[in-house]
Chain A
Amino acid sequence: MAVVDKNRPSPEWIEHLRKRYPCEQEIDRVLTRKLERRAGPPYAPVSLDTLQAGTEALLRTQLTEPFTITDTRWLSGGASKLQMAFVLHWNQPGVGRSSTPLVLRMEPSEAITETSRLREFQIIKAMEGKVPVPPTYWIDAYGEYLPYPAIVYGFAEGVTKPSKSTSTVSGVGTSIPPEIRETLGQQFVDHLVTTHTFDWQQADIGAYDRPAAGTEALEWALNHWERVWEEDSHEDVPLMRLTMAWLRRNMPPVDHISMVHGDYRLGNFLYTEHDLRISAWLDWELAYLGDRHEDLSWSAKRQFGQMAEDGKTFLVAGCLPIEEYLARYERASGLKVDPERMRYYDIFNNYKCLAIVLATGYRAPFNGKTHQDVLVAWLSGISYPLLEELRTQMAEVL
């Protein structure tokens, strides 16, 4: 068997993968770019001065009047992107002279989730006014002004978890107290319903390919994640092979193509503690047009919820019992929740998550490609409990 050097991918191998795993055009572009750049240098620390200069260069193409940037500082949070907070002093259209706190969110050289800033920008713009999203200002889609592709966001007020609670990285293990569960839980359902029933046909989302009814969206998604597995994995894992074969053999056709958030869960929304309103849904980078059951299954994952005080009832997002969660969703959306498809997407989600944390979670830090290799390497350890979960799921369906 020919040995592929995944750290120095050949043009022939890249082309082979592109043909073998056809997926959405923008996803193909991003994954191809990742491979073409892989043999290049590792991520080198970027100074705040460099980011400020790049942001100023980007803004000069967007603003006609003078502006200044001050108060630059690093933000932490998330395993995937670099974030710089700053204040923009400018003549804001419709407002006048303003000092606006903003955030620059930029990719590292290779991220644990290699995604498109253009898609992220488009979907957030499209969802503005429909569900709470952070204000989005400008984009450097191809890294023309900044070292890597980036988006300039406004600050959204709020917290991802109660100020007094603790959790591990990426929001896993967050605890929601009883008195706020109903208010947050209802919004959690409502915003998912709005996202899934959003009229994407009319939206300006040119970076999203529009799938036909049937299994086309799912085939693209399977190709996407199997391609990521092939591109980034180091050790082959028999269970992953078996799972992908099962996923391909059992593809359920979609009855209603929805905008799928792709990472809809506790930890990915902000809420304001004084009035318990969800103020922004974050991390839209994995959004795509597909089957709502992906979000429903992902949001109900054990890692993103907690047990109620009775020790028996699992609470989705730490807020609602799963039966209640799904019943409210069905009532509000008019869309059925199909247990068979929930089970299919439970397996799909674990495969996808493992492609991210076990395959890319190894490859990106191995090549020194991120700004926080040690965090990404640490996170890759969660792969083994996830594989165990996948094994028990597969045992039920084989």
Chain B
Amino acid sequence: MELRPSFQIPALIKSLTDVVLPAVDPANKLAQEQGQLVVAMLHLMAQRLPLQYRYDCHELKQFLGLADSLASHGAAVPELGETLAALATDAEAGRAVLSRAGVEPAELEATNLALRTSVGAAISASAMAADGPATKAINAAVMAHAQEMLLRERAWLAMQGWEGPNAGLPAVETLIGG
């Protein structure tokens, strides 16, 4: 899927900076100010989006550390019993989530990209080979994969409206469960 924020946000910034904002009425201070803020906010998003996942993991790890400290030090304070019990439950859930947090999105994206390239090379190479049952099976596998992938990609972009309101695309959330 090419339309991801790392591709979209710079295009939005450039359009606003080069075309839209210069055309905003200089006398309309509210529009001028909000236009500048939209650009600044998009810059902030573009800069921080790649780190968002790492940031959230780090934050969870730090809070788990603080929760452990509170549990340890607070154990001697009888009045904290109920609160610390609730904290322990949430901290346990947090540790479980953190243990499942895997590679960063950028690494996942790069791995997908590399695998796509290798798959593409294998398909092109197989096309050079003589026709036979293996080639037919490879073609069928590519077609089956395309069907599933394209349903997901079209559902992801359904809001753009290319296929009209009656395209019958499922909600993308139902297609990316696991």
Contacts and interface: CB of A to CB of B under 8 A. Distances in A.
B120 A249 contact: no
Indicate the size class of the contact surface on chain B: 35 or more
A384 interface: yes
A84 interface: no
Interface string A358-394: 1000100110100111111110111111011001001
B153 A238 contact: no
B11 A365 contact: yes
B62 interface: no
Interface string A9-52: 00000000000000000000000000000000010010000000
B2 A234 contact: yes
A385 B154 contact: yes
Nearest to A392: B147
A398 B2 CA distance: 27
Interface string A235-255: 111111110111011000000
Contacts of A378: 160
A173 to B, nearest CB: 9
A212 interface: no
B11 A374 contact: yes
A248 B143 CA distance: 18
A365 B160 CA distance: 18
A380 B146 CA distance: 18
12 contacts: A45-B18, A168-B161, A234-B2, A236-B116, A238-B145, A242-B123, A242-B143, A245-B128, A249-B127, A362-B2, A365-B7, A368-B10
A377 B139 contact: no
Given A3-B114, A235-B116, A241-B124, 19 more contacts: A45-B18, A235-B112, A236-B116, A236-B119, A238-B116, A238-B146, A240-B120, A248-B127, A249-B127, A365-B7, A373-B10, A373-B11, A374-B12, A375-B15, A377-B3, A381-B3, A385-B162, A387-B146, A391-B147
Contacts of B14: 42, 368, 373-374
Contacts of A238: 116, 119-120, 123, 142, 145-146
Given A235-B2, A388-B154, A372 B15 contact: yes
A1 interface: yes
A122 B164 CA distance: 39
A44 to B, nearest CB: 8
Interface in A339-360: 358
A381 B19 contact: no
B52 interface: no
Contacts of B119: 236, 238
Contact of A239 (B22, B112, B142, B157): B142
Contacts of B1: 235
Indicate the size class of the contact surface on chain A: 35 or more
A395 B145 CA distance: 12
Residue of A239, A248, A387 ringed by the most chain B CB atoms within 10 A: A239
A215 B54 CA distance: 54
Contacts of B113: 234-236
Contacts of A249: 127
Contacts of A248: 127
A1 B150 contact: no
Contacts of A245: 123-124, 127-128
A27 to B, nearest CB: 22
A302 B14 CA distance: 33
B124 to A, nearest CB: 5
Contact of B157 (A42, A368, A371, A384): A384
Nearest to B124: A241
Contacts of A387: 146, 150, 153
Residue of B7, B113, B121, B146 ringed by the most chain A CB atoms within 10 A: B146
B8 interface: yes
B3 A380 contact: yes
A242 B142 contact: yes
